[in-house]
Amino acid sequence: MGSAKLKKMDAGEKLVTLLKQNGRVLLGVLVLVLVVHDVFGTHGYLAMRRTENEIKKVQAGLEQLNRENLDLAQEVKELKTDPQKIIGIARDELGLARPGEVIFRIPPSQQLPQSSTRKP
C-alpha cells in the first residue's frame, strides 16, 4: 500500500514538474486555439461579417420592394381616380379607339426605339 502511494506522488510530482517546464507553451497553445476559434469558428469574426453582409443585402432588397410597393400603390390610386389614365391604357395596350378614329399598328421590328423616360 505504501508503494502505491509513492507511485501516486511520483506521478503528481511529474505532472507538476511537467507543468512548470512547459506551462507557458501549453498556455500559448491554449490561447492560440481560442484565437483561431474566435476568428474561424461557427460564431467567430468571419461568420459575423458574413451574416452582417447578408443582412445588408436583405435590407437593400426590402427597401427596393418598399419603393416598388409605393409606386404600385400610387398607380392604383391613379387608376381609381384618373379616368384619363384608364383611357390611355385602353388606347395604348388594348388598341381601343373612339368612334371615327383609325388605329395604325406598326410591327415592332419597324418601330423606332422608345425613349427610356416612358414607364413600362
Q: What is the pLDDT of residues 19-63, one digit of tens each?
A: 888 888 989 999 999 999 888 888 889 999 999 999 999 999 999
Name the amino acid, one letter, at 56: K
State the chain's maximal CA–CA distance in angstroms: 123
Share of the chain above pLDDT 90, in %: 35
Same domain, 64 and 26: no
In this structure, are 22 and 67 located in the same domain? no
How many domains are there within the chain?
A: 2
| Structural domain includes residue 71 | yes
Mean pLDDT of 5-25: 78
pLDDT tier, 118 (very low <50, low <70, confident <90, very high otherwise): low
Residue 29 lies in a domain: yes
Q: Are residues 58 and 78 in the same domain?
A: yes
Do 30 and 51 have their domain in common? no
48: domain range?
A: 43-96
Cα–Cα dist 71/92, whole Å:
20
Cα separation, 38 vs 52, in Å, equals 16
* Any domain includes 112: no
Q: Please check whether residue 51 lies inside any domain of the structure.
A: yes
Do 52 and 91 share a domain, yes or no? yes
Residues 48 and 36 in one domain: no
Question: Which uninterrupted H or E stretch holds 110?
Answer: none
pTM attached to this predicted model: 0.50
